Amino acid sequence: MTTRPENDFWGDTSYRHERWIKMCGMETFKRNINFEYGQMAVFGMRDPKIKRIAWSLLKIGRLPVWGFNTHYDHHDTNGIRCRGWEFPGNEELDAYAFYCGLLYQYAKAVDPLWCLQLREPNLGSPLPVYYKKNKYRARLITQDMCMSTIELSRIAKNINLCDVKRVLEVGAGYGRMAWMILELFPHIEYTIVDIEPALSVAKWYLEKTVQAKVNFLTPEECRSRALPTQDICINTSSFDEMPAEESIAYLGLFDGVCKDIVYLCGYGERRHPDTRLGLSQFNYPKAWKKVYQGTHPSIGGFQERVYKVNV
């Protein structure tokens, strides 16, 4: 177990996450520690995330399905733990399911790779949200599947993933994006750089769910070795959480090893740019060409950015 050091970003984060895993166990990690890795709670039907994804559907010409097409199985509430969302009531869980349903509709509309034909593993016990396809059929849907689909679809618009040989992701959480990419393109060699315990969670999860080569590196190991050239480098919602010097160093790493696409997602601006930087506050390498910048369809303040490097 990590001893909590003073004024240390990595140590403080690791300490907090290890406490969650010790308290809840790995069997239900998608219902608790995953809220530390990017899954977001919904606090009622007026939650801004619901309004935002509904508006995003309208902007791409899709009318949101407002009926009772999505539901939460209220018989299964075991293991749910989240700061500010502990022991959520039925109304909150119904709002969460409603949000996931809208998110699924959006992801399905922008899914050229048919990512949503995949079935997320039950390992880790995803929250039991079901989307009703017709009178007789419903399928399990998850926030993670939808988010990964949206992100990967953005990447796929800028590179042919069939030609990709290597992908580097910094801050992969339990590996939701890695799982999707490797399910669709098992020939890819994937490298994850993360802190503990997220790195061990990702290793445990991916070794049980994919048949592909995955390298797992701590930040210290990443700094001490020369990485091979990567076709794609990814960071989703952690550069904007790190101390500024850490995120700048990782951008330097991406600049040194990436030969094609950098995908970034996170808050556009931070209030204290002397300690943390949002995506619009970085000084990007001059050799990078920005090919996409847009607001996230679901999360207020979030941006997606795609860069072509070495052009």
User: Quick one: pLDDT band at residue 132, thresholds 50, 70, 90?
Assistant: confident
**Residue 274 confidence (pLDDT):** 78
- Residue carrying the six token digits 């939808």: 146
Q: Is residue 25 part of a domain?
A: no
Q: Is the pLDDT of residue 4 over 60?
A: no
Length of the chain as a residue count: 311
Mean pLDDT of 230-248: 94
**Residue 17 confidence (pLDDT):** 86
Q: Is residue 227 part of a domain?
A: yes
User: Quick one: pLDDT band at residue 311, thresholds 50, 70, 90?
Assistant: low
Helix 176-184 to helix 143-156 angle (10° resolution) is 60
Q: Is residue 189 part of a domain?
A: yes
Instruction: Tell me how far apart the alpha carbons of residues 234 and 79 are, in angstroms, rounded to a whole number.
Output: 30
Q: Is residue 66 part of a domain?
A: no
Instruction: Tell me how far apart the alpha carbons of residues 33 and 221 are, in angstroms, rounded to a whole number.
Output: 24
Least confident of 2-6, 240-244, 271-275: 2-6
Q: Is residue 222 part of a domain?
A: yes
Instruction: Tell me how far apart the alpha carbons of residues 203 and 192 are, in angstroms, rounded to a whole number.
Output: 9
Q: Is residue 206 part of a domain?
A: yes
Name every residue whose Cβ is closer than 8 Å to that of residue 271 and which is 6 or more positions away in sequence. none
- Parent domain of 275: 147-308
User: Quick one: pLDDT band at residue 87, thresholds 50, 70, 90?
Assistant: confident
Mean pLDDT of 145-152: 97
Q: Is residue 298 part of a domain?
A: yes
**Residue 3 confidence (pLDDT):** 40
Q: Is residue 251 part of a domain?
A: yes
- Can you give the CATH number for the domain in which 269 is found? 3.40.50.150
Counting the structural domains of the chain, the total is 1
**Residue 5 confidence (pLDDT):** 41
Count of beta carbons in the 10 Å neighbourhood of residue 118: 15
- Given a contact cutoff of 8 angstroms between Cβ atoms, the answer to whether 279 and 248 are in contact is no
For the chain, what is the mean pLDDT? 91
